[in-house]
Structure 1
């Protein structure tokens, strides 16, 4: 974790943030997130809620990370209209930055177990894992069924466009600028060439679809007995774009088993394969560049960086650039 990791919120601030919902009885900071600061709060009537606050110091944010909790609130609101997305209810939001210096979202607490902590075995040996993978594939399809009007990040007009090619290009260029700012060496010329060479494939995405983009097992809750998917959290990085981005976000290290997606997901045609590789290129670029501003420390960082860079080069190689 970076040396300037967010400090604990004062109890009086948490009390004020949940006041529209009830009186705070207890609060516990939740660990594991690398972006926001999150608390599980118990109210006097026994109700549990989750309070999530954005970083106050914005100097270490990547371009696309500004105002992300506003996207989270927007997606949670969409979840109320689409309960099959399994998102918690949005209970309160505070974007005044008066109680704390960043945006705040308060959502319903999800009971259950995060998939990463459920102790499931390999997919071929544990039927719970097979069930979870099947439910995840179906969930990605349900996210893709929600349509929007503009491609790109909801909270960032500069990273939006009328076409998926335009939005993804803006998103990638922002990351390349971030890489330059933080002195992160990435193959920028090859990345730009890949976007240009395969732009026609991107143009086949003609309607903005809701993409969670971060459906890894840490953001998914499951029934530990059956493996059924029961909840989804942390949609702050959601965007409107190509549903294949969610296929990649569900397998960020490019090392997991493939999902059995329905026929609406074109993964095998030349254009579908190119779009999937461009999504892998984009995510590997995000994960490579963010290491510097996050100031990650620990023995794991070198291996993590090497894996992300390897995936970036692998995607570029398979894209033929």
Structure 2
């Protein structure tokens, strides 16, 4: 692997050191130190595609696209794309090389609750500000940057959920199909309340937000490979996938004016929770997750899905 990585980063310099980074469940990520001391991050997609959900094909290409859009917007605090290799000639899968960010992931910063640690509140406000800047980027359609797109959000979101139900059937994952379809049919009209497509990160939890551990200031944002063009409210579910509230007060203060309390907004938030829970339930099987955490995780996701469905019923 080092020989392939050396060839990949050769246009940037000679490879001196490689460190495999853990924590992700999709891509394989390396921190690479070059001979001149510069550090870069290399991400490679899974080699086999048989364990991918339908929407997960070409995710690194989507990530590169989002980083390209962010390059002109410093407020997004995203890495710069240094190299891409989608030829699959140097490595057996897509590869993306980006700049190395400062700081540490918020999940590892050791901050206390926002009520007792001002660094946490600052990090949450900063996350809200990043989301607001991201959502100012408008698309010409709704859907995945490198996948299926539609003219309306209702068509796009319904298609996203349909694909997930097909994935569940493919891997024989038991999900409440009838309840999901009923919720979609009952509430499709509220999806029409989204007139413009915004760029939605979808996965901006505390592991993908980098902060200054001394101050709590947000210094970087990573992993937008699951982004889509859609409703900004979906990002409030991605920030806290297992929560029931649409963001913390500090995050919403950092974001600025945003309707999270109207009947339409509350219903859409539950629809997005439903979708994300389906993703988390289904991916366990094809990815063959292992460890003591898997069954408690499955149980928590299942409970959260049924809470969302109950609210939608």
**CA RMSD, Structure 1 to Structure 2 (Å):** 1.2
Contact 1:140 1:247 in 2 (8 A): no
What is residue 89 of structure 1 aligned with on the other side? 80
Work out which of the residue numbers 281, 304, 307 in structure 1 matches 2:300.
307
1:98-133, CA deviations, whole angstroms, 9 ceiling, x for partnerless residues? 111111110000121110110000121111111111
What is residue 156 of structure 2 aligned with on the other side? 167
Task: Report the more deviating stretch, 251-260 or 62-71.
Answer: 251-260
1:197-244, CA deviations, whole angstroms, 9 ceiling, x for partnerless residues? 111110111111000000011111001111111100111101100001
2:181 maps to 1:192: yes
Work out which of the residue numbers 171, 177, 182 in structure 2 matches 1:182.
171
Secondary structure at the residue paired with 2:252? Answer: coil
Contact 2:79 2:222 in 1 (8 A): yes
| Distance in 2, Cα, partners of 1:64 & 1:50 | 24
Please list, as runs of the form range in 1=range in 2, the aligned pairs for 1:171-320 lying within 5 A after superposition: 171-254=160-243, 258=248, 259-261=251-253, 262=255, 264-320=257-313
Contact 1:151 1:167 in 2 (8 A): yes
2:24 maps to 1:33: yes
| Distance in 1, Cα, partners of 2:286 & 2:259 | 35
| Distance in 2, Cα, partners of 1:161 & 1:93 | 27
Task: Report the more deviating stretch, 65-74 or 148-157.
Answer: 148-157
| Distance in 2, Cα, partners of 1:266 & 1:282 | 20
Shift of 1:93: 0.4
What is residue 4 of structure 1 aligned with on the other side? none
TM-score of the two chains, using structure 2 as the length reference = 0.96
Shift of 1:265: 2.0
Contact 2:86 2:95 in 1 (8 A): yes
Q: Which runs of 5+ in 1 are unaligned?
A: 1-9
Contact 2:132 2:256 in 1 (8 A): no
| Distance in 2, Cα, partners of 1:121 & 1:156 | 39
Shift of 1:54: 0.3
1:255–1:204 Cα change, 3 Å: closer
Shift of 1:255: 6.2
| Distance in 2, Cα, partners of 1:111 & 1:133 | 18
| Distance in 1, Cα, partners of 2:103 & 2:126 | 16
Contact 1:198 1:274 in 2 (8 A): yes
| Distance in 2, Cα, partners of 1:27 & 1:208 | 39
What is residue 6 of structure 1 aligned with on the other side? none
Q: Which runs of 5+ in 2 are unaligned?
A: none
Please list, as runs of the form range in 1=range in 2, the aligned pairs for 1:2-41 lying within 5 A after superposition: 10-41=1-32
Shift of 1:264: 4.0
TM-score of the two chains, using structure 1 as the length reference = 0.94
Secondary structure at the residue paired with 2:260? Answer: coil
1:236-277, CA deviations, whole angstroms, 9 ceiling, x for partnerless residues? 101100001110000011167623255642111111111111
1:120-178, CA deviations, whole angstroms, 9 ceiling, x for partnerless residues? 00121111111111111121111111111111111113xx2111111111110110011
